[in-house]
Amino acid sequence: MAGIEDIKNAAEKAAGKAKEALGNATDNDRLKAEGQTDQGKASAKQGVTDVKDAAHGVADSFKNDK
């Protein structure tokens, strides 16, 4: 199910970029900061997803070695 999580994280990151751009365009520091925060959260979630995928790959390789 990592594919679904990848899509969700990419969508959240894109929304954060859009929010940051809108904050820049309107000179709204709060909106800009929220956009940056949203991007950071999405990146962190993606990192967790990547670690989970790697862990599953390692576990699968041990299963296949038997």
CA distances, 34 to each of 6, 20, 25, 47, 49 (Å):
21, 7, 14, 20, 23
Band the pLDDT of 62: cuts 50, 70, 90: confident
Band the pLDDT of 53: cuts 50, 70, 90: confident
pTM of the complete model: 0.78
Q: Are 34 and 12 in contact (CB under 8 A)?
A: no
Q: Percentage helix, strand, coil, to 5, in the chain?
A: 90, 0, 10
- The amino acid present at 64, given as its one-letter code, is N
What pLDDT score was predicted for residue 56?
Answer: 82
* C-alpha–C-alpha distance, residues 36 and 39, integer Å: 5
pLDDT in tens, 29-47: 999 999 999 999 999 999 9
